[in-house]
Structure 1
């Protein structure tokens, strides 16, 4: 009797084991996301697709008269009309952003699953804060993490129509080639149009509806050419880094070493007092900071190791937390950075009343 019971138990366990592995195989197949396909495979089959935009104000369509006339809306419409595929858009964009801010913002907001297509739109703001070598480092850092997180995605890098700094454009093209991304230089169709910047932009930087139509048409033309040329699925290979030290990660230092006149608000340090300052000590070659920008934002004087670095405006039309690049290529040693509120407003800010500043943390390299 006991042997019979044991035999029945073993048979039951064996049967359950087979059922478990069968269920595991089915579940494993279902867990493979549709987003694992590349964009061209999706539209070739007439399937819907997901796409991600990481960029600055042009990435978000600033200058368009309505969302429907921004480049990404025109792109979605064109793909739908030609291939019957509808897009799900994810935007990680910020006016005035640099590739450094794009990298930090992407880490905070990245999609929970891979997408089929990625657009990367930076360059015009970066040239205001860093040289092309520094830009190349942060641009590659962002491009690399996008390739890792979205291994099957097709990546399109946009050289903005307003970018006049050739060194930055060359770095975008060089890194795009290294990472198997398609670079679209929008300066070419803008120049070929024969129209002046006044006819294609709102302010010689941000495209208007006519300018964004050129963006969309150039993207759609490139996609059609690529789609016709792609006969087999290409497996993305992560290349060797072009720039050194790309593995360095960043952390936030929230507590200053010296606080003179700022109030600790738990989520940052706030002040309306002229000449109040915060001082932080850090180690490494790079520093940025996380601040709250808003309508009452004032001006901050920044020094590193006692030497003037820059004066930064914290004004913005609405309250928004922002990552700001300050400096890189510092000596790999200990440094002191001081933020002094000078009590002034941005020269173009006509609002009356007392300005203020709020600093949340500095961004430094993990040691």
Structure 2
């Protein structure tokens, strides 16, 4: 080989390496999703729900899960859709899996999908988070929704998934332009990637309002021929839920002619986003993590009976200085806890650095108790062990934010109902692994 070749060899290798860097960075850029608004359609069948429809037509046992927020938690379109399925396929054995929690989005859904949905072995999972994810950025929605999708198919690659986009006031501005609101647009882009069917029931509500057949909400009685959708512009009344169900039923009928059974396993080779939350999990608390006056709520405790099905064993403490301490290696941690009228506030410390502000477990909705999440740390270094401490503060949080919900706030806020520093926790939410 000529000596000149060896002189040129370093230059040739340099050029090859530069071309490789540019080409791979180009591919990485191309593979990174870019948000844009998406045209709104009532139904996008994509690859359909063929596995479910096959089992229904064969009169087999079919489990249908409804993962969502308060719109799905209500005895509305969820119950009505199950009823329609039973009437449309009377010989099949259809079971409903109620997996909806009011006031929660896909960011909690990714952590609870295993316990609330997958342990029940669903054949079809309706996912409804377009309203509760409305305030989140598309990139954040993609991470949690991609995590939900991938967990479902990792558990059972023959389970079908269908996205449902519900309505809230102000979504009509985009819908009147023929566009999906931001959260639904973000979900549509992910649905395109995976071939997941979607049903845009919000579009139907906007169309009926434009036709003069429906009012989103009204303080005065409406004419008999006009449908009053809701009282608050978000949660449908019975007729609103009926419209949702009719659109979903029509969509399923449409998919009967286009859907074929499919194994979705191959779709897991290429995620939609690299930061997907497919590793999200729930970890129960145990006594070794606790100090202070923590106690397990008894089985007959009102809160344990009401929320234990979702949260598992609930632990309660109210003594200032009582702590939860745990160590983990991973990127994210939170607590699965309760907010309530007697809720206290906590000091969070991660890796020796206390948060700048106390975190109350009380807000303007707290005339009652409800499930919530307490963020502890996000985007943490995955290669080191993190130490997290949550400590009850002696001072009660300011409760004035709830005043507008009370008839006599000055008197009621002094009542025992609104006193206390109680903290109630079910599980730790992790993207990572606990370290003893």
Q: TM-score scaled to structure 2, two decimals? A: 0.62
Structure 2 counterparts to residues 240-251 of structure 1, below 5 A: 240-246=270-276, 248-250=279-281
Task: Give yes or no for contact 1:301–1:311 (8 Å, CA) kept in 2.
Answer: no
Offset, 1:212: 0.7
Match of 1:92?
99
Structure 1 residue matching 2:401: 3-state secondary structure: coil
Offset, 1:289: 0.5
Q: Is 1:347 aligned with 2:401?
A: yes
Measured in 1, the distance between the counterparts of 2:109 and 2:59 equals 31
| Selected match of 2:186 from 145, 166, 171 | 171
Match of 2:153?
147
Offset, 1:98: 2.2
Match of 1:16?
none
Task: Give yes or no for contact 1:269–1:360 (8 Å, CA) kept in 2.
Answer: no
| Selected match of 2:83 from 55, 77, 82 | 77
Match of 2:247?
218
Greater shift in the superposed pair: 104-113 or 328-337: 328-337
Structure 2 residue matching 1:173: 3-state secondary structure: helix
Measured in 2, the distance between the counterparts of 1:43 and 1:255 equals 43
Task: Give yes or no for contact 1:290–1:360 (8 Å, CA) kept in 2.
Answer: yes
Measured in 2, the distance between the counterparts of 1:47 and 1:360 equals 36
Distance 1:331 1:196, change over 3 A: farther
Measured in 2, the distance between the counterparts of 1:187 and 1:54 equals 17
Greater shift in the superposed pair: 77-86 or 276-285: 276-285
Match of 2:115?
108
Offset, 1:325: 4.8
Match of 1:290?
336
Measured in 1, the distance between the counterparts of 2:140 and 2:389 equals 20
Structure 1 gaps of 5+ residues are 1-35, 62-66
1:257-292 residue CA offsets vs partner (Å, 9 max, x unmatched) = 9989x522256351165x876666655432211224
- How much is the aligned-residue C-alpha RMSD, in angstroms? 3.7
Structure 2 gaps of 5+ residues are 1-48, 172-179, 218-227, 297-313, 407-411
Measured in 1, the distance between the counterparts of 2:216 and 2:91 equals 33
Distance 1:343 1:185, change over 3 A: same
Structure 2 residue matching 1:193: 3-state secondary structure: helix
Measured in 1, the distance between the counterparts of 2:293 and 2:52 equals 50
Structure 2 counterparts to residues 1-367 of structure 1, below 5 A: 38-45=51-58, 47=60, 49-61=62-74, 67=75, 70-85=76-91, 87-112=94-119, 114-128=121-135, 130-162=136-168, 164=171, 166-194=181-209, 195-198=214-217, 199-230=228-259, 232-239=260-267, 240-246=270-276, 248-250=279-281, 252=283, 254=285, 262-265=292-295, 268-271=315-318, 273=320, 283-294=329-340, 296-300=342-346, 305-308=353-356, 311-313=360-362, 323-325=373-375, 328-330=378-380, 332=382, 334=386, 336=388, 338=390, 340-341=392-393, 342-344=395-397, 345=399, 347-348=401-402, 352-353=415-416, 354-355=419-420, 356-360=422-426, 362-367=428-433
Greater shift in the superposed pair: 92-101 or 37-46: 37-46
Measured in 2, the distance between the counterparts of 1:338 and 1:307 equals 10
Distance 1:156 1:84, change over 3 A: same
Task: Give yes or no for contact 2:331–2:432 (8 Å, CA) kept in 1.
Answer: no
Q: TM-score scaled to structure 1, two decimals? A: 0.72
Aligned length: 321
1:152-201 residue CA offsets vs partner (Å, 9 max, x unmatched) = 23211112212849332222112222233211122211101112321212
Measured in 1, the distance between the counterparts of 2:91 and 2:189 equals 31
Measured in 1, the distance between the counterparts of 2:289 and 2:258 equals 60
